[in-house]
Structure 1
Amino acid sequence: MKYQDSLQQASDKAAQVKLFLHRAGLAAHPVNYAVCYEYISGNNAQLCQIIEQKLAAKAPLDDFVMADLYSRFMAEDNAQQQLMLQDAAGMVSRIAGYTDVAAEQLDDYLQQLDDSMLRLEQVSNDSVVLTVVNQLHQTTADFKRDQQQLHQQLLLANQQSHQLRHELEQLKQQRLLDPLTGLYNRAAMQNQLDVWFSEEPNRRIAAIVVNLDHFSRFNQQYGNTIGDVILAKVARKVSSYVQNSGLPVRSGGEEFLILLPDVDLRSASEIAEQVRRGVEKLRFVSSRSKQTLPKVTISLGVSLYQQSENWYQFLGRTAEVLLLAKQRGRNQVASEAMLAT
C-alpha cells in the first residue's frame, strides 16, 4: 500500500476508519484497519465495490471477510504469486507443445527420407546414384541414432513439463481452498458463479447457509485448537452431501455455504435436512483428556437466487432465513418460504 496523504488527511481518514470499525463491530487490529483505510481512501475499486454491496445488502463484515479482502486485494505477494503462476503455466504449456511438435516433425522427416531413398534404389541402376544412396543410408543411420537420443531427451522434457504443469495447476487449486477446512473460499465461489452465469444467465441457484450453533461458546470453553478440529470435521461432513455439480464454501468463521445449481427450493431443503441430521450424529472425543465433547448441531437457511438482486443482497436474504432457524430453536432448517408465512 502506498499513500500520499498529508498529516491532516491521514488524521481525518483514521477517524473515519475508527467510526467504520465501531459501527461494524470489528476489532481495530492491523488487517481490519488496513482494509478499512483502503476502503475509505477509495484507491481499490474492486475492494470498494464488494464492501459497498455488502453494506447495501446488510451482509455482515467479520474478521474472516476482512482477512479475505486483504488477501485478495491488498497483499502484494498474493498478486505477484498469481502473476508468476500465470506466466509459469503459460511457459510450461508452450514447452510441452514445442517438444510434442518437434518429436512429430523429426519422425515425419526420417520417414520421408527412408521412403525417398527406397524409391531411388528401385528406379535407378546408376552406380553414382546408388553410391549416393548408400552414403545417405549411412548418414541417415547415424542421424537416427542421434535422433533417438534427442527423442528420449524430448520425451523426458515433455514428461517433466507436463508434471510441472500439473503441479502448477494443483498450486492454483490450493489458492482457491480454505486451508483449515479444505472447502472452497470466496474467490473460488465468485469464479464458479461467473462460470455458471456465463453458461446460463437465468440459471437457478439454491444456497444453503450452514452455521454451527453456539460455536463461540464452545471455543471459549475448550479453546480454539479443539474448535478448529471440530470445525474441520463438520466441514468434511457438510461437503460429503454435495454432489460434483455443487460447491461447498467456507463463507465465514463458523459458517459454510452450499451452492446448488439447477436445484429448486424443496430439493435444497431436503438436502439441508440431510446435512443437519448427518452433523447431529457426529460424536467428538478430546484426544488429550479422552473427554467426550458436547454434541455439535447446526442451523441452516435455504433460499433461491433471484435475478433482480445482486449476489450480496442474495446472501443477506439467506442470512435472514438462517436467523429464522436460530430463532425457532436452532438445530433445524428454515427456508425462505417460511418468511412469507
Structure 2
Amino acid sequence: MKYKETPSQAADYLRQAVPLMVRNRIPPNPLNYALWYAYVSNQLPELNVALDSTLKTYGTCPNLLSEQLFRKHLVSDDAKDTEEIHNGLVNLVNTLHEQASVAWEQTDSYSAVLRESLEALTDFNLTDTDALPLESIIRTLSLKTEAINDATRLFQQQIDAAQSEIAALKQELHQTRQDASVDVLTDLFNRRVFDTELEQLMQLGSLQELSLILLDVDHFKRFNDTYGHLMGDKVLQYVGRILKDECAEPLIPVRFGGEEFAVIAPGLGKDATKAIAERLRKRIEAIRIRQKSSGSVISSITASFGITCLRSNDDHSTLIERADQALYQAKLQGRNRVCSDSDGQ
C-alpha cells in the first residue's frame, strides 16, 4: 500500500484511527496502527469489510487475525519481514546491479570501438599505408562482439539464478510464518497462538461470552505402545483434521500439547459449546484406521472433553485450570464423554 496523504490528511486519519482502536480494545502496536490507519482512509475496501466482520464476530480484532489481515492487505507476498530474508534480497539486487554494470561497460566499450572503426573505415584509402588496415578493424569488432555476448549471457544467467533464489526466499518466508504459529504435525494453531488469543479475548471481560474446550485422546500412551508412534501420529493428524473441519471461525482450534487439544470459543455460552464438544466427540469416536501390515481396522479411538466458561474474576491460568478439572472428571467417569465444570453443581 502506498501512502500519498499530505501531513494534515495523515494526522486527521490518525485522529480517527486511535479512538476506534481504543473503543474496540485493539492493542496499540505499529501493526495495528497501520491497519486502522488504512481502515479510516478507506483505500482498501476489502480490508474494511474484513475488519468490520471481525469486530462483529469477536468484539475486537485478535492479534492472530490482525497479523493475517496485515500480511494479506498491506504487505506483498514477497515481504521482507525478517532480517535474513531482507538481506538475501538485498544481496540479490546488489549482484544483479554489479552484473548490469559489467554488461553496460561492455556495451559502452563496444560502442566506442564501433565508432572508432566506422571513422577509420570512412577515412580508409587503399593507397594510404598509414590508415588502419581493414583486417585489423574486423578483428577488433569481432573480439568486442564476442565480449559483449559473453557479458550478456552471464547477466541472463544471473537473472535466472535470481529468480530461483527469490522463489526459495519466498518459500522460506512462508515456512517461517508457519513455524511461528502452526503445529507441523496437525496443521492446527500451536500453543503460542492459543496463549496470545486467549489472553486478548479475556480482556474483553463482560463484553462477550467466552468458552474453552480441552480434549485429550484417551489412553494415547497405551495406543502408542501397542501400535507404534507412526500410528499415534496418524491419530493426532485425524483429530486435527476433524477440529479444522468442525471449528470454523470464530472458533480457534489448537494443538495444546502432546495428545491434548483445545478450542477457544468466543461469543458462545455453555450449551452451544457443549454441543460443539459432543459433535467432536462423536466424530473422533468414528475414526477408523486400517493397519497396512495386518489389514486389521483400529476402531478404539476416543477422546474426553472438559469445558468451562469465562467468569468475571478469571485470569488466563484459572480458566485453563477449570477446563482441565472438567476434563479430569470426564476421564474419571469413564472417558469418551463431555463434562462441564458446572455439571452436578
TM-score, normalisation: structure 2: 0.50
Q: CA deviation at 1:291?
A: 1.7
Alignment of 1:1-341 (within 5 A): 86-87=82-83, 168-169=173-174, 171-197=176-202, 202-339=207-344, 341=345
Q: Which has the larger radius of gyration?
A: 2
Q: Is the 8 Å Cα contact of residues 208 and 303 (structure 1) preserved in structure 2?
A: yes
Distance 2:175 2:225 in 1: 36
Distance 1:88 1:199 in 2: 37
Question: Which structure 1 segments of 5+ residues have no match?
Answer: 1-83, 95-156
Q: Is the 8 Å Cα contact of residues 299 and 332 (structure 1) preserved in structure 2?
A: yes
Report the CA distance shift for 1:322/1:198 in structure 2 as closer, same or farther (over 3 A).
closer
- Which letter does structure 1 place at the counterpart of 2:320? L
Distance 1:301 1:261 in 2: 16
Q: Secondary structure at the match of 1:337?
A: coil
Residue number in structure 1 paired with 2:104: none
Q: Is the 8 Å Cα contact of residues 206 and 303 (structure 1) preserved in structure 2?
A: yes
Report the CA distance shift for 1:175/1:214 in structure 2 as closer, same or farther (over 3 A).
same
Distance 1:337 1:262 in 2: 18
Q: Secondary structure at the match of 2:193?
A: helix
- Which letter does structure 1 place at the counterpart of 2:188? L
Q: Is the 8 Å Cα contact of residues 202 and 307 (structure 1) preserved in structure 2?
A: no
Distance 1:88 1:229 in 2: 34
Q: CA deviation at 1:190?
A: 2.1
Q: CA deviation at 1:306?
A: 2.4
Q: Secondary structure at the match of 2:216?
A: strand
Q: CA deviation at 1:199?
A: 6.5
Q: Is the 8 Å Cα contact of residues 197 and 203 (structure 1) preserved in structure 2?
A: no
Q: Deviations over 1:249-307 (max 9, x none)?
A: 11121110011111111100001111011111111111232121242011111111224
Distance 1:169 1:307 in 2: 39
Distance 2:227 2:175 in 1: 35
Q: Deviations over 1:108-162 (max 9, x none)?
A: xxxxxxxxxxxxxxxxxxxxxxxxxxxxxxxxxxxxxxxxxxxxxxxxx9xx989
Q: CA deviation at 1:194?
A: 4.5
Distance 2:170 2:250 in 1: 25
- Which letter does structure 2 place at the counterpart of 1:278? R
- Which letter does structure 1 place at the counterpart of 2:323? T
Q: Is the 8 Å Cα contact of residues 85 and 172 (structure 1) preserved in structure 2?
A: no
Q: Deviations over 1:166-207 (max 9, x none)?
A: 862553133211111111111111232344356777443211
Report the CA distance shift for 1:204/1:90 in structure 2 as closer, same or farther (over 3 A).
farther
Q: Secondary structure at the match of 1:338?
A: coil
Q: How many residues align?
A: 199
TM-score, normalisation: structure 1: 0.51
Q: Secondary structure at the match of 1:240?
A: helix
Q: CA deviation at 1:88?
A: 5.5
Q: Is the 8 Å Cα contact of residues 238 and 279 (structure 1) preserved in structure 2?
A: no
Q: CA deviation at 1:87?
A: 3.2
Distance 1:161 1:204 in 2: 45
Distance 2:201 2:86 in 1: 25
Distance 1:166 1:282 in 2: 34
Distance 1:277 1:230 in 2: 15
Q: Deviations over 1:206-226 (max 9, x none)?
A: 111111111111111111121
Q: Secondary structure at the match of 1:196?
A: helix
- Which letter does structure 1 place at the counterpart of 2:257? G
Report the CA distance shift for 1:298/1:200 in structure 2 as closer, same or farther (over 3 A).
same
Distance 1:329 1:232 in 2: 24
Q: Secondary structure at the match of 2:297?
A: coil
Report the CA distance shift for 1:336/1:93 in structure 2 as closer, same or farther (over 3 A).
farther
Distance 1:217 1:252 in 2: 17
Question: Which structure 2 segments of 5+ residues have no match?
Answer: 1-79, 91-161
Q: Is the 8 Å Cα contact of residues 182 and 188 (structure 2) preserved in structure 1?
A: yes
- Which letter does structure 2 place at the counterpart of 1:191? T
Question: What is the aligned-residue RMSD (CA, Å)?
Answer: 3.5
Q: Is the 8 Å Cα contact of residues 93 and 165 (structure 1) preserved in structure 2?
A: no
- Which letter does structure 2 place at the counterpart of 1:313? T
